A and B are shown apart, each in its own frame.
Chain A
Amino acid sequence: MTAVTFPAVVINWGSDEMAARRKRRYAADRRLQIYGMIAIAFALGFLAILIGTLTFTGYRAFTQSVVTFELDLSKAEIDRSDVMGADWRGIVRGALREKVPELPRSSERAYFAMFTSSAQFLVRDQVIRNPALLDGVARFSVPLSDPLDQLAKGQVDRDTPESQRRVTDRQIEFYEQLSAAGAISKPFNWGLFFNSDSRFPELAGLAGAISGSFWALLVCFLISFPIGIAAAIYLEEFAPKNRFTDLIEININNLAAVPSVVFGLLGLAVFLGWFGLPRSVPLVGGMVLALMTLPTIIIVTRASLTSVPSSIREAALGIGASKTEAIFHHILPLSMPTIMTGTIIGLAQALGETAPLLLIGMNAFITSPPAGVLEASTALPTQIYIWADSPERGFVARTSAAILVLLGFLILMNAIAIFLRQRFERRW
């Protein structure tokens, strides 16, 4: 053994130089923290601005001005065997006319334009749903037309010259009269969720878009989830590691970054062009979205399969489980929470995708919700796109409201993902 001697170095930890040095190191720590907090403040600030402006423009769409009137249908001459064919226009107009005594004939046109042009159909449908209404006095509410709705919500400046606003002085007078009589109210706008699209903002709702999105996401999930998991399992567990599989991996990662409009064009060419599938249907929308979600699911699944510790794999193989058994009995169940989380986030992304749906025609004007995947419909993002394109004031607010609804669904989906992760994910 050779003796190794170290020179005796005496460090004066308390010297000013050392103290200053430590101070600089602590300062660096603090600076990093401050930068981080600034970054978060920026992010939160922008989010607050986004939500704030949307809420500010959109909150009015969550109420709808309606006029309420009494109607004694027992006095109206309605053939009970043909309720549909009764003179609903006349009946409803008659009831509305009573609200303003001495309505001059010349003002009738302006007066009835204050209410949604579908008023008679709304009353008729309500009666058909509930025939008991035919037997006596009942109260009905119909929405005001969009210009009057805006007036009711204080969105019309009465100082603007009459020729430059969509509400005439005469209509304002009538409105004041109805308002004073307590006939106008602004209840929660359930129509926003239960009506489909309409040319009239006061009747337009998201029911069609929501169910269109639902069907499209369902198709997307049913296609991308099993295929994605199968592909990931093969690549991760069975495929030999060689240049070819490397190439596949690179391509899958690249696919995840391909702009969605490209997938839309692909869907247009292949699904509509070659396969001749119908235009504007959730089936095709879902298939296109599945193309986009697939790489995400494959990547997430592969990552979560690798994150299962090899000891579990060895334990299963060690007692003679076949590869398939090891995967399906142990590895896949353990990675399922992560896969589900990734899938939900992938679907949330798909829910917000607009471009591919525009290209396959899911921005059509459709006034009834689809009953299945083969009926033409819109989807939430495309409905937002359509409304954002419409000039009526009512649609401006509804666009923001629709965005808020979409964001609400996204938050819900992400919350489910977080819940699943917290609840089921195990840490090793």
Chain B
Amino acid sequence: MFIDQISVFVENKQGALKDILKILADGKIDLRAISIADTSDFGILRMIVPNPDGALELFRSKGVTASKTQVTGCKLSDTPGSLYHVLNTLHDAGISVEYVYAFITRKDEDAYVILRVEDNDAAQKTLLAAGHSLIDPHDLYGI
């Protein structure tokens, strides 16, 4: 159960992020989740959207450097320590996490985390075996 995430290169200059978001707005693309990571020179905007292929196509047509990556989504209870348990499970299995971001939804009481790991298959098996539940992409896109 992979989730398609779109990553976009954002220059570190005034208005760059706004310009990217305008493309999404004009394309009537709804954002499910976003995360921005940046260095002093540039940033990467990561997002989950209902129609990842459409968004990728749209960005590329506008000359924006973008890519699609498969990530793992994990559902966890919105209580202290739950994210720790997820990461600890992965740690014990020797799976390292490149990055993580979390969001909550209106739909239920759970919190959602997006995990970027080297091997999605291994991570998902490990999480399921430890009793965690994964996010079905269809649920996510349809929130």
Same complex: no
- Interface residues of B, Cβ cutoff 8 Å to A: none
